[in-house]
Structure 1
Amino acid sequence: MSIDIRIGDLATQTVDMVVVCSTSQNLMNDICKKAGKPVADEVNAATQMGKIMSEGYETVGGKLFCQKLFFLPWTTKKLDDITLRRSIQKFFQTAIHYAVNTGRTSLAFPALGCGELNYDPSTIAEIILDETQIYANYNLQILIVLLPEKTENYKAFCFKLAELRQKKQILPEVNRSNDKLKLLGPKEEVKEAQIEFYRLKSVKAEEARIASYARVAVWLFEIENNTFEKYSLKLNALFETALEHNNEVVNFRNDNNEDCKIKLKEKIEICGNRQRRVIRRDFQIPHNWTAQSDNVLRCVLDSKDEEYTKFAGVAHGVGVYFSTDASYSHGYTSVSPTTHRRCMFLAKVLVGKAASGNSKMRTPPAGYDSTTDNNHIFVTYHDDQAYAAYLITYKSPGN
C-alpha cells in the first residue's frame, strides 16, 4: 500500500474511485457539477430517496477522470475526540472494504474535518494515517486530497506521515499468492528484523504447541479435599508429552522451584516428603457422540472431506463460518440417512472486534479478531475462538 498527500481538487484525481463525503454540501455540489448532469441527477434522486446511507452509494465518474464515485455520509457537527476517531475509522473502513470487494486499487479521499468543521489538522492527520496503516498489506494506492487554501493542513499531514515512516523503517511486503513475506529497508535493519521475526515465529509456534495440549486434556493437582487447581500450560504440555511416550514418571520443577515428579499411572505428585493426588480431565469428543449423523462428524473430525469442502465459505474470509441466524445455518445441514435427523452446533464464539470481510482474507486485518458480512455471519481464524457448547439434533417439517 502507498499513501500520498496532495493539495488540489478531489474532482480532478485520476483514480479508480473518488470517495465523497455526502454530508458536505459544498463538496457534493462541486463534485456533481463537474461530473455532469446525468451524475448530478442520479445523486439528487438517490439523496431524496434516502439511498445514500452508511454503507455508501456508487455512481460512474461521468466527466471526471476517476472511474467511480463513492458517496458516503459522515458527520455535520463537532464531536469529542473519541467519537471523532471512531467516526473517521468507520468512514475509511467502509470505503476501503468496498473498494477491495469491488476490485478498486486506487482511491482518493477528502481530508475529513479540515474544511468547514475546522478540526485540529494534526489530530485529523493522526487518525486518518493510523487508520490507513491497518491496510498496509493490501495492494492499494490511497490519496488524501487537501484544500489548496489551507497550507497548515498540508504541513500537519506531511509531518505525521514523515513521523510514521521514521517509526517504520522496515516495511513488510506480503505476496499472498505464495505466502511469502519480503522486508524492505536498510540492510542492517532488515537483518535485525529478520532475526527477530524468526525468533518470534519460534516463540509463537512453541506457545501454540503448548496451548494445543490444553484443548485435549488438562492436568490438575489437589489443594484440599476434592478441590483441584490446574497446572500451568507449560507443565500440562510436559505431562501430555510424557503420556504420549508411555513414560511412567515425569520429573519437573514447580512454581515454588521445588523438584517434583508425577507417577502417571498412580496419578500421584511427589515433592520431597509431600504427596498429593492429580487428575487428568480429557476433552476429547465423548464416545456417545459417535451416534451423530455423518455430516456432523465430517465437520468436526475431517475438514478435508470432499463433502465438507463443498460448503467451505470464502466470501467473507478464508476461515470458519458462524451465523446468528439459525435458519441460515439450517440451510447448510443435511438429513442423516440413518437417523433421518439434522444436526447443528450452538457455539460460543469470541468475535472480538470484527471487520468487514472479503474472499482474499486469510487473516483479519491488524487490530481485528474476526470478519463479518455486517449482518449475521462471523468468520473466525483460530481454533480457540469458538466452543461447541451444545449439539442440536432435530427434525424439520417434511423430513
Structure 2
Amino acid sequence: MDVGGKSLRIAYNVRHKQNAHEPVISIPTDGKVASKAVYFVDWQPKDNPKLLCRSIEQLVSNVIETAASENYKSIAFPAIGCGQYGCPASLVAQTFVKQVEKELIKHPMMISFVIQKDRPEIYDEFLQQIDSDEQKLEASTPKRMSIKVGDATLEIIKGDITKQKANVIIGSSSSENLRLALIDAAGTQVENAYNDAYRDNPNSIIITTPGGNLKCQKIFFLKWEPNKNPDILRQSIVDLIWNVIQNTISHGFTSIAFPAIGCGEHGCAVDIVVKTMIREMKQQIQSRKLGWHVKFIVQPNLPDVYDEFCKQLLSLNKEPIDFQVPTTWERCNENNIRISVLPKTKEYKKIKYDFDQSMGKTYREIINVERIQNERWFMQYLAHSRDFYKRLNENTEKQLYHGCPESATIAIMEDCFNRSFAGVNGTSYGVGVYFSSNAAYSHGFAKANSKGERFMFVARVLIGKTTQGNSSMKTRPLGFDSTTDGNHIFVTYHDAQAYAEYLITYK
C-alpha cells in the first residue's frame, strides 16, 4: 500500500466500503507499482492444517479466476501466511503449487512466487515443491517421442522452450507469456535487440534477435494471432510454419525448437493447431527434401496438448503424401530447370494461342517458350494447392501472367516469386506479388533487354478466397488468401501460392 501511494489507498477504501465481502478487490495502478493491478484478498490463517490448505486453495482459485476475467496474463503471489502468521512453510508451498497447477489447466498464464530475500528457507520449500511436481509429471508419461521423415527428425518434447538446444527457437510477439519468458531467459542483449527492432518496424511479420543466454543462435519472434474461426486459424498456422521455414533456410540453419503456439494462454482449438503444425511441417520437409531436426516443445503442465502432439506425430506414418510432377516434364540434368518447348507440340501451341488471345498486336514474335521444371518449388505449390482445396472445397487455381525484366527471371525460376521484392512496381492493391489474366497488362512490366527481348511468366496461381485490395495492405486480410482489383489483377502473399510454369521470351 505504501508503494502504491495515496491514490491506491483511496481506491481501495472506496471499493472496500462498497463491498467488503468481495474475495478479491482489484485496484488498477497508476504506474507507481510495476503491475497493471493490485489484488487485495480476504484471507485469514487457520490453525487446523486441513482448513489452512482449503483457505489457500480458495485464495489461489479466486485470484486466478479474477485475473482471467480481467484478461491479465501473469500474477505474482507472495508466500502468504509464512511471515507474521508463522504458518508451516512446507504446507503453504505444497498447497500453493498444487492448486496453481490445477488452475493453469483452465486458465493458462504465467505464475510467479515472490519470496523475501531474508527468508531463504521459504524459497527452498517452494523450489522443492515445484521441482518435485515437475518430476512427478515428467515421470507419468514419456518425456519425448520422435519419428523420421526422410532425412529429417520430428520430435515432441515435454519441457521448457528456454532450455532447448537448436539453431533457432521460435517465439511469438503476440504471446506475452512466451515472449517474456524467452526474453527473460535470454537476457538484456536480446531484450534490447527486440525493443529496437520493434520500434523501427512494429508491423514486421518477424523480429529476429540473437540467442543471448539461450542455447540457440537466433530467436524468431513471429507475429501471429489466434482466431476462433477454424479455417482462419488453420491458415494462420500454415503461414506461420511457412515463414519459419523460409527464414530458417535463409540463415542456413538445420534445427528448430517450436513451442505449442496457441495452446496455452490463447486457448485455441488444440486439435486444429497441433494437426496443422505437424502436417504442414511434414509437407514442407518432404517437398523441400530437408534433413532438419524439428522439436515441438510442450509445457509439462499441459499433458493433453502433449498427448495430442504424440497422437498426430504417430499418425503421420499412416498418411504418406504422394507428389507427382506433370506428365509433360522431361528427364534432364538436375541443374537444368529450363527446358525449351518444341513449336510443333500441343503444349507449345496451347501456350501461344492463349498468349495471342491476351496480347493481341502488342508483340511481333515469340523467340522461345521454356518449361520450368523446379521440382522443389512445384512440390511446395502442390502441397499448398491440396490444403486450399480441403479448406475451400473448390479449385481456385488460375493461369495468370507475370512480366518482369530479364534480371529477375533467373531468381524467380530458382527461388519462386519471392515477396522480398514486393512493391518494386507499385502497391495499389497490396504489398505482394502481382499477376494478371491480361498478358497485355503484364507486358508493361516486361522491360526489354539490350536485344529487344522481353520476358513473361505463365504461372499457376492459387487465388483462394480473394477480396478488394488497397495500398495500405501489408498482407492479405484474415480470412482471405489474395487481394484483387476486382477485374484482372491478383496479388498473392505466400511464396508457394504461385508456380512459374513457363517462361515466354518475345519481342
Please classify the TM superposition score into its range, dividing by the shorter chain length. Answer: 0.5 to 0.7
Is contact 1:323-1:376 (8 Å) kept?
Answer: no
CA distance in 2, matches of 1:332, 1:162: 52
**For the residues of structure 1 that align with 2:188 and 2:300, how far apart are their CA atoms?**
26
| Contact 1:72–1:91 (CA under 8 A) maintained in structure 2 | yes
SS of 2:198's partner is: helix
Tell whether the 8 Å contact from 1:330 to 1:344 is kept in structure 2 after alignment.
Answer: no
Identify the match of residue 100 of structure 1 among 244, 249, 256. Answer: 249
Distance, in Å, in 1 between the alignment partners of 2:312 and 2:497 is 35
Separation of aligned partners in 2, 1:318 and 1:28: 32
How far the C-alpha of 1:47 sits from its partner, in A, is: 2.8
Larger strand percent: 1
Match of 2:462 among 340, 352, 373: 352
> Is the contact between residue 170 and residue 259 of structure 2 (CA under 8 Å) also seen in structure 1?
yes
The partner residue of 2:213 within 63, 74, 80 is 63
What does residue 163 of structure 2 align with? Answer: 12
One-letter amino acid of the counterpart of residue 132, structure 1: M
Name the CA distance, whole Å, in 1 between partners of 2:241 and 2:409. 29
Within 1, Cα distance between the matches of 2:169 and 2:294?
10
SS of the aligned residue for 1:317 comes to helix
How far residue 67 of structure 1 moved from its aligned partner, in angstroms, is 0.6
| Aligned counterparts of 1:298 and 1:217: Cα–Cα separation in 2 | 14
C-alpha displacement of 1:329? 8.0
Shift of the 332–16 alpha-carbon distance from structure 1 to 2, 3 Å rule, reads farther
SS of 1:18's equivalent? strand
Aligned partners of 1:134 and 1:302: how far apart in 2? 24
- Deviation at residue 320 of structure 1 after TM alignment: 9.5
- CA 1:216 to 1:155, structure 2 compared with 1: closer, same or farther past 3 Å? closer
CA–CA separation in structure 1 for the residues paired with 2:200 and 2:251: 24
Q: 1:329 to 1:316 in 2, by over 3 A?
A: farther
Q: Give the corresponding residue for 1:249.
A: none
- 2:214, 2:315 → 1: CA distance? 33
Give 1:60's aligned amino acid.
P
SS at match of 2:327: helix
**Cα distance in structure 2, aligned partners of 1:113 and 1:46:** 23
CA RMSD of aligned residues (A): 4.8
1:2 to 1:328, Cα distance in 2 relative to 1, 3 A: farther
- The residue identity in structure 2 corresponding to 1:44 is N
Question: Offset of 1:332 from its aligned partner?
Answer: 5.6
Q: Report the Cα distance in structure 1 between the residues aligned to 2:229 and 2:256, rounded to whole angstroms.
A: 27
Asked if structure 2 preserves the Cα contact closer than 8 Å seen for 1:61 and 1:67, the reply is: yes
Instruction: Using the TM superposition, give the Cα deviation of residue 48 of structure 1 relative to its aligned residue in structure 2, in angstroms.
Output: 3.6
Q: Work out the CA distance in 2 between the residues paired with 1:119 and 1:155.
A: 16
Q: Matched residues in 2 for 1:78 and 1:100: separation? A: 28
Change (3 A) 1:161 1:377: closer
Task: Check 1:316–1:104 CA distance in 2 against 1; reply closer, same or farther (3 A cut).
Answer: farther
> Does the residue aligned with 2:414 lie in a helix, a strand or coil?
coil
**C-alpha offsets along residues 34-81 of structure 1, whole Å, 9 cap, x if unaligned?**
111121122123334444622x11111011100101111111x54211
For 1:31, which of 174, 178, 182 is the aligned residue?
Answer: 182
- From 262, 278, 282, the equivalent of 1:133 is 282
Aligned partner of 1:204 in structure 2 is 327
Q: Distance in 1 between matches of 2:370 and 2:259?
A: 50
Q: Provide TM-score, normalisation by structure 2.
A: 0.43
Cα shift at 1:20: 0.5
Is 1:313 the counterpart of 2:415? The answer is no
Question: 2-side partners of 1:58 and 1:51: how far apart?
Answer: 13
Question: What's 1:250 paired with?
Answer: none
Measured against aligned partners, the alpha-carbon deviations of 1:136-173 in whole angstroms (never above 9, x if no partner) come to 232222111111111111111101111122334xx99x
Could you tell me which runs of 5 or more consecutive residues in structure 2 were left unpaired when the two chains were aligned.
1-151, 332-340, 373-404, 419-432, 465-490
Query: What 5-or-longer segments of structure 1 have no aligned partner?
Result: 173-196, 219-281, 355-371, 394-399
Task: Give, as a single letter, the amino acid of the residue that structure 2 aligns with 1:16.
Answer: N
Output aligned runs, 1:145-160, within 5 Å. 145-160=297-312
State the match for 1:187 in structure 2: none
Post-superposition shift, 1:285?
A: 10
Question: What is the TM-score when the length of structure 1 is the normalising length?
Answer: 0.53
